Structure 1
Amino acid sequence: MNGLSERCSGRSTFGFVRAVLIFGLLTPLLCSAENGEALREEVERLQQRVEALEEEAVKAERAADLGLSASESTVAEADEPGGVHVGGAVRFNLVHRDFVQASEDKYGESGLDVFRLNVDGEVEGILVSAEYRFYSYMHTLHHGWIGYEFEDNSQFQFGIHRVPFGLLPYPAHNAWFGVPYYVGLGDDYDMGVKYERTDGAWNTQLAFYKNEELNDATDPERYSFDLIRSGEQQNEEVNQLNARLAYTVGQGTACETELGASAQLGEVYNTATGGRGEQWAGAAHLDSRCGRWNLQLKGVSYQYDPANPQGQGQAPMQVGAFGGTYDIAGEADILVANLAYSVPSPWKSVDSITCYNDYSRLYKASRALDSRINTLGCAIGSGPLFTYVDYILANNMPYFGNGSLAGNGESEWHSRFNINIGFYW
């Protein structure tokens, strides 16, 4: 109610100011009978200016209703047909890691997280979206695709785009993500074609990916995790099919719940043997948004059956991204349980505050020590600024001591306190 009364009050004030402006600017013209034509032109000019101002006010209200920051609202406007928006972001990290002695000794570290450039929009009916990222230690294409939207609002995409699997767009609320991302089953991008359509409460996505996004399985300098060829590990992803079907209960109400299932089936090509093995994954998910609450649940099972040389065995599998590689279990189950709450902002300068607790766990078929990660934090939007404040606890996870997603690493829990500050345009 407070937001509604503020918006209504804003409209009344805007109308009063408009009347004063028009009266003040037209008074000199009204004093001269010779200026009839000038008066008409001035009225038209002022009317156009007033309409432009009202349009900006409506856009601002729309962004506020959707809980968007100014930067997110600008990007959303680029989705309107007939133009291309060039934007980007620069993000910085302030970090304290209890498992790194230098970080302990210095009471934390800071540095550039990423600088990125984005292109999104439509030119002569053809959709385009691309993003290139620069890190301090590498640079890579995040995604890049062209597409077409049909009259029924279904869409076709060709190029490097997000794989339709599980919770979308992200299986977490925080900046660090969780287990699905680090095994290549969350926010993953590959090279292929995708078709998506929505029929009422139903959403269907079908895709085929010829290979991973860079068409170079020896290069770990990439954004999303894929199989990487290195040493004895000579496997890469090829010929992958994905299907995702979701239904939204209570669509259009204040309490919407998406229920969905995903399937993935592909081949694993081994350059040492020339053979093609198989890999598959399946997932069921729930994404409920009721009022200010958001509950995300997901269960995943996956398995690799590569055509390795005789005597090498079937597991583990090697994946890589961000310039590094590590092994993951060749067969495992994943559990995801995330809960978030959108806090009413007590400050005019803060557009949104979302606090969350994200938890995910990897259960290895080998019965080795599970891998777990839990993140408690808040995301804060203020105009072009967007900040994550996260306290991350991880057990037997990569990037946290000697954790391993493939087997028994270390049983000790490690923490990372991370503040990620980004400016978007």
Structure 2
Amino acid sequence: MRPHLNYFVLIPVLGALAAPAMAVQVTDNLDLGGAIRARWDYDPDRDIQKFGLDTVFLSAKYNSDTWIGEAQYRFYGRSYPYQYTKNYGDIQFAKFAWVGYKFNPEQQVQVGLNTVPFGLQPYFGSTFYETLGNVIGLEDVQQVGAKYVQQTGDWNIQAGYYLRPAWQGKGTSKGVTYSSVVSGADSYVSDGSDNQERNTVVLRVAKALDLGDWKSEVGLSGLTSTLENKDTGNDGRRNAVAIHYLGKNGPWGVQLQAARQQMSPRNAGTDEVVTLGGYDGTFNVASRGNLYVADLSYDVGGKYLWDQVSGVKLYANYSAFDKSADEFKTSQRVILGTSFSFSKLWIATEWLIGKNDPYIGGSSYTQSLGAGGSNQWENQLYMNIGYYF
């Protein structure tokens, strides 16, 4: 068996790779690339101090006057938090796999596994770890279908129809996808359900405008889909709406969003939760609730440490999932962090603070976004170091 990768092994490796970072340009239109990323997790309350290989992904991008496309495939395993697997690559799945056609510079269509256009794009804030919107299945979500994009002056319109979620990859769970998607529950999920999302229709309309010195965007999104229950054979629905604001004034950035998600499943058991899955795990999410997101960022200009450090961004992000069921505890996440480039490496360092958050501080993984977890504030430190090529 190979020894675990650790800090002293990975830092020289990533540093050595840092010299010639660039994608391989196969043709004038096709680029091949990817990334090798390490992560550091520190939580003294749980006696966790781990450094290891996080992700390896391979990507391809095609762009011409008419045809476009993107594909990305990811590999995980062995290192924390996947130490329960034997080999690196025991967990793997696709993020993107789509082709598109540009009718003109303002209009295009994308077909395949592409990003669902809902709310703030491409993410609900400045963080690497992402917000609670990601875990409840609204942020950074990819599904299989077709999306139409049109830019008309200050207006951006995106409409999509998706047949199904991403295909399951390789792993140990029923939730082996990049996105958090409606899923069948693994045996360890109490009150778990077995639904699959079908026929998702989504519309996002946004307008760019100036509000004083702030370059801004305001937008409205709506989503509806069918939830096919594999146990009862009956169909429920998933509906979501969101309103968002994005503003930029010099180095300052603000992102705000409020969303409502309402799922009405036809489960064999309780209808108060729906099981979602992703990243080799499944967990319950409250069927009904409001998501709130606020993000403040500041871009630090200049280069430092003999011009090796650049692109410094400071940010603070708050997200909350306020569930409609009276007895369900609100989930909250606060992220204070910074991201920057060091030579050819890109680094994000974040202080994660959560309450009833399945991914922070050891609160219940399967129930925190449902009825609730430890219901107390937990925190840990997280760093991601990536070499992108």
CA distances 1:268-288 after superposition (whole Å, capped 9, x unpaired): 001222221111000000010
* Distance change in 2, residues 1:133/1:254 (3 Å): farther
TM-score, with structure 1 as normaliser: 0.77
* Number of the residue aligned with 1:148: 101
Q: Does 1:288 align with 2:247?
A: yes
Matched AA of 1:146? V
TM-score, with structure 2 as normaliser: 0.83
CA distances 1:161-185 after superposition (whole Å, capped 9, x unpaired): 1110001001121221111001000
* Number of the residue aligned with 2:183: 228
* Number of the residue aligned with 1:65: none
User: How far apart are 1:94 and its partner, in Å?
Assistant: 1.4
1:342 to 295, 299, 302: 299
Q: Does 1:370 align with 2:330?
A: yes
Measure, in 1, the Cα distance between the counterparts of 2:64 and 2:314.
38
Measure, in 1, the Cα distance between the counterparts of 2:295 and 2:316.
6
Measure, in 1, the Cα distance between the counterparts of 2:103 and 2:65.
13
User: How far apart are 1:410 and its partner, in Å?
Assistant: 1.3
Structure (1/2) with the larger strand percentage: 2
1:313 to 238, 248, 270: 270
* Number of the residue aligned with 2:11: none
2:198 to 223, 238, 242: 238
* Distance change in 2, residues 1:150/1:82 (3 Å): farther
CA distances 1:202-255 after superposition (whole Å, capped 9, x unpaired): 000000010101169x8311111011113651211001100000001139x973
Does the residue aligned with 2:130 lie in a helix, a strand or coil?
Answer: coil
Q: Which moved more, 1:135-144 or 1:293-302?
A: 135-144
Measure, in 1, the Cα distance between the counterparts of 2:19 and 2:254.
26
2:62 to 114, 117, 121: 121
Does the residue aligned with 1:180 lie in a helix, a strand or coil?
Answer: helix
* Distance change in 2, residues 1:152/1:377 (3 Å): closer
Answer whether contact 1:228 1:235 (CA < 8 A) is retained. Answer: yes
Matched AA of 2:265? P
Measure, in 1, the Cα distance between the counterparts of 2:246 and 2:178.
25
User: How far apart are 1:346 and its partner, in Å?
Assistant: 4.1
CA distances 1:336-381 after superposition (whole Å, capped 9, x unpaired): 0000000123422223100000110110101322111101010002
Measure, in 1, the Cα distance between the counterparts of 2:292 and 2:20.
33
Answer whether contact 1:82 1:121 (CA < 8 A) is retained. Answer: no
User: How far apart are 1:332 and its partner, in Å?
Assistant: 0.3
Answer whether contact 2:303 2:310 (CA < 8 A) is retained. Answer: no
In structure 2, the gaps of 5 or more residues are 1-17, 83-90
Q: Does 1:176 align with 2:122?
A: no
Measure, in 2, the Cα distance between the counterparts of 1:71 and 1:132.
22
Answer whether contact 2:168 2:176 (CA < 8 A) is retained. Answer: no
User: How far apart are 1:152 and its partner, in Å?
Assistant: 4.3
CA distances 1:182-204 after superposition (whole Å, capped 9, x unpaired): 10000011000000010111000
User: How far apart are 1:122 and its partner, in Å?
Assistant: 3.0
Matched AA of 2:333? I
* Distance change in 2, residues 1:364/1:124 (3 Å): closer
1:3-152 map, 5 Å:
82-101=28-47, 103=48, 108-122=49-63, 125-136=66-77, 137=82, 138-152=91-105
* Number of the residue aligned with 2:14: none
Does the residue aligned with 1:181 lie in a helix, a strand or coil?
Answer: helix
Answer whether contact 1:71 1:424 (CA < 8 A) is retained. Answer: no
Question: Which has more radius of gyration?
Answer: 1
Measure, in 2, the Cα distance between the counterparts of 1:148 and 1:97.
47
In structure 1, the gaps of 5 or more residues are 1-68
User: How far apart are 1:266 and its partner, in Å?
Assistant: 0.6
Measure, in 2, the Cα distance between the counterparts of 1:84 and 1:173.
28
User: Alignment identity in percent?
Assistant: 27
CA RMSD of aligned residues (A): 2.4
* Number of the residue aligned with 1:23: none
Measure, in 2, the Cα distance between the counterparts of 1:263 and 1:291.
31
Answer whether contact 1:344 1:352 (CA < 8 A) is retained. Answer: yes
* Distance change in 2, residues 1:165/1:329 (3 Å): same
Answer whether contact 1:82 1:124 (CA < 8 A) is retained. Answer: no
Q: Does 1:417 align with 2:381?
A: yes
Structure (1/2) with the larger helix percentage: 1
Measure, in 2, the Cα distance between the counterparts of 1:388 and 1:71.
21
2:208 to 244, 248, 265: 248
User: How far apart are 1:411 and its partner, in Å?
Assistant: 2.0
1:291-302 map, 5 Å:
291-302=250-261
Measure, in 2, the Cα distance between the counterparts of 1:280 and 1:413.
30
Answer whether contact 1:70 1:382 (CA < 8 A) is retained. Answer: no
User: How far apart are 1:131 and its partner, in Å?
Assistant: 0.3
User: How far apart are 1:99 and its partner, in Å?
Assistant: 4.2
- How many residue pairs get matched? 345
Measure, in 2, the Cα distance between the counterparts of 1:124 and 1:330.
43
User: How far apart are 1:71 and its partner, in Å?
Assistant: 9.5
* Number of the residue aligned with 2:349: 389
